[in-house]
Amino acid sequence: MENKVDHIFVNLIENAPFNIGRKKLYEGVPGNLFAFACKLSWDTGNQGFVSFVSKTKLMEHYNKTLGAVNVFDQRMVIEPKEALKLMKQYFPELK
């Protein structure tokens, strides 16, 4: 993760081989990572804004699961409203 001037940029997100498919070891790892990025953004005064570059085949998935929107090419952004949802989901103490 990189703290930009006005948002947090997630450089890369990949699943470990043991955490892919139906037999994955852990649930919710990507959501948890993005919730952390949103919280970091919020805590640094950037209102929860997070951006990342998605693989084309995952763009719709990130839209549905994270509320991320495509802003250009493969760049996606999580905006404040969706950031709050993620933070409340993964950080119950914020509810």
DSSP 70: E
Q: What does the DSSP assignment read for 30-66?
A: HHHHHHHHHHHHHHTTSTT-EEEE--GGGHHHHHHHH
Domain that holds residue 63: 2-18+26-94
* Total number of domains in the chain: 1
**Residue 73, phi-psi category: left (phi > 0), alpha (psi -120 to 50), beta (remainder):** left
pLDDT tens, N- to C-terminus, the chain (95 residues): 999 999 999 998 777 788 788 888 877 788 999 999 999 999 999 999 999 999 999 999 999 999 999 999 999 999 999 999 999 999 988 86
Helices H, strands E: what count in the chain? 3, 5
Query: What pTM does this model have?
Result: 0.89
Q: Are 66 and 31 in contact (CB under 8 A)?
A: yes
